Structure 1
Amino acid sequence: MDFLIERLPIYLDGAWVTIQLTAGGLALAFVLALFFGILGTRPEWLPRAVATTYVEVFRGVSALVLMFWMAYALPVLTGYQLDGRFAAIIAVGLNIGAYGAEVVRGAIKAVPKAQFEATVALDMTWFQRMRLVILPQAWAQMLPTFGNLSIELMKATAVSYLIGVADISAIAERMRQATGETVLAFSGALILYFLIAQVLIFGVRLLERRANHRLGRVPPGGRGILGLLRPPALTTSGGAK
């Protein structure tokens, strides 16, 4: 315990880098997932082909290899060296964004067809349909899977130390080499990754309950802190079970 307490500031520096990578990767992944997910629902073949190409390419590529490519191959091709953190953010964002795009597409497709028909009957534009009717309903269905993907993205940043980023994993390896305390060095990293994951889980569940509340779905367990510790149950009838 004394080992971890004495080196806590160093581990916290690594944790801050991991949080930055996670936040940046999530922002990029969310934008890409929303854009290509919506594109994949369009009736025209060209937008669907573009969305499918993005999903299949970046879902089928290892995040680690993509990170190496951004850090080492891209400078050879362009002559421009990306910062290690930026390269890691782009790599994990592109990779997780491809998975997220399929989540968005599936959630939009899951919205009842009657909702689409109602927006047409009300003479809404495509943008109004998506913003006011379709996406709010699809959003509640996306969030549980988005929560899982956010944790996967956070864990994927752990390999960024291989391209010189001083994240939690890099700090743990540095402590192991400096002290020879393998178990304690990596135990500190395990604890920090676990704590960051719990914050992500809590935040996503908070968003889930807010989305369900806006749709008139009242999750079991109330609105308190204890209720947020349990995943919400979606209902199809619009009321509480």
Structure 2
Amino acid sequence: MARSRRDWIRLRDIDVLRLSLLSATLLLVPTLAHAQQVDRQLWLQTNGTVTIGSREKVTLEGIGRFSDRAEGFSHAEAGALFTHTTAGGIELSIGYRHVADWNRGVALPNEERLRQMVLMPLGSGFSGRLRLEERFNSSGSEIGVRLRPRLGFDTPLNDKGLKLFATQEHFLNLNTTGWGQQGGYERMRNAAGLSIGLGGKLRGEVGYLNQYRFGRDGRRDQMDHAATFTLSFNVASIGGSGD
């Protein structure tokens, strides 16, 4: 009888443990569900290029983005990029962008960015890009420095100019500023899509981009799902095509 009582106590303890684990799981599910917030976005971009001889080019860029969380138009960029291509196919670029943001129609502090980039072909359709940015925010005097390494891949799908592309990019803040940039690993972007020639020197891209932002100071992480559309074209050519 005593043994049966011990067995009953053991079974009771097991049931209590199971109930505790189940309760903890049920409490954890909503926590995980709210661990990140999700935003659906639309990203639009145009690139107009002026080629200078065979080694240099200037690219004029315009970017507009829409966000569900911001309830409409949320982000705009306008800038220019000068690129020199070496004999080995490595691209060296320097440029500038003006950046503006809105949240529910209210303008946020804007930003001026200086950019330096190196793009290197890695073979078999792969390329590596390293971008260094100096960020000047209108709400503070400190300069935010950010590093953005990116791995890219593209491959032709047919003989009519259709290409598949994919990229992965990481954002590393190299310092902390009083206006909001915090040092460390900030976010990751993964993108994939199709690129196709639209006639002449006009090219279009359509794709999907997933961006994961890591929360800081108690903020939740954010997952962005963006449909992306890009239109690139050659504005003019200056100089000869020889070296």
Q: TM-score, normalised by structure 1?
A: 0.27
Which one has the bigger helix percentage? 1
The structure with the largest alpha-carbon Rg is 2
Q: TM-score, normalised by structure 2?
A: 0.27
Which one has the bigger strand percentage? 2
